[in-house]
């Protein structure tokens, strides 16, 4: 039975990829890791007697969105976090002020992790889920972290606005 399932999976991967090198096995492992994290956070919440809130308030939702944006970009693009991406990506140059351009390298799981770590939009789901779990497990600390990252995002916006206004006056 296992052999039949494996053959079916390989056939589906071959038909899906249409000759391209798509690391579906790596994606499955990442999905498994994500699911395990969500189940683990849920179990921890139950063990600690924490309840999921009935709703998320507007301020928490704004903080969650802005902090998710900022942390995802920091992980995926910041020069300081490049050592985290280095095993999975290759430096290509500067992309923007304070951001790097990198290409994904490797095969299988290594390639899949590289795609995740180099893509702020891909990371956002993982980061937002971590913050959501934090709001249940450690709400005060999570709100502080989200507020800090939101302040950084606001400062980034003001830096870009300042630079734009400076260019217009020159």
What is the model's pLDDT at position 16?
A: 82
What is the model's pLDDT at position 23?
A: 86
What is the model's pLDDT at position 71?
A: 98
Q: What is the pLDDT along the chain (170 residues), one digit of tens a residue?
A: 788 888 887 887 778 877 777 888 899 999 999 999 999 999 999 999 998 889 999 999 999 999 999 999 999 999 999 999 999 999 999 988 889 999 999 999 999 999 999 999 999 999 999 999 999 999 999 999 999 999 999 999 999 999 999 999 98
- CA atoms of 143 and 135, how far apart (whole Å): 7
The set of long-range contacts for 138-146, using a CB threshold of 8 Å and a minimum separation of 24, is: 143/60, 143/63, 145/67, 146/60, 146/63, 146/64, 146/66, 146/67
What is the model's pLDDT at position 4?
A: 86
What is the model's pLDDT at position 170?
A: 83
What is the model's pLDDT at position 7?
A: 87
- Give the containing element (helix H, strand E) for 71: helix 58-77
What is the model's pLDDT at position 115?
A: 96
158, β-bridge pairs: none
- pTM of structure: 0.88
């Amino acid at each position: 039975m296992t052999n039949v399932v494996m053959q079916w999976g390989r056939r589906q991967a071959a038909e899906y990829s249409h000759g391209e090198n798509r690391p579906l096995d790596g994606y499955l492992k990442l999905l498994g890791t994500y699911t395990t994290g969500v189940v683990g956070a849920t179990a921890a919440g139950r063990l600690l007697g924490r309840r999921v809130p009935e709703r998320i308030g507007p301020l928490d939702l704004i903080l969650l969105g802005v902090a998710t944006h900022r942390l995802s970009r920091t992980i995926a693009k910041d020069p300081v976090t490049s050592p985290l991406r280095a095993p999975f990506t290759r430096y290509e140059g500067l992309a923007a002020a304070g951001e790097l351009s990198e290409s994904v390298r490797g095969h299988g799981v290594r390639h899949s992790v590289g795609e995740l770590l180099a893509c702020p939009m891909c990371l956002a789901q993982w980061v937002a889920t971590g913050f959501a779990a934090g709001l249940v497990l450690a709400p005060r600390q999570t709100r502080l972290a989200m507020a800090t990252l939101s302040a950084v995002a606001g400062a980034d916006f003001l830096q870009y606005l300042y630079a734009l206004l400076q260019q217009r006056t020159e």
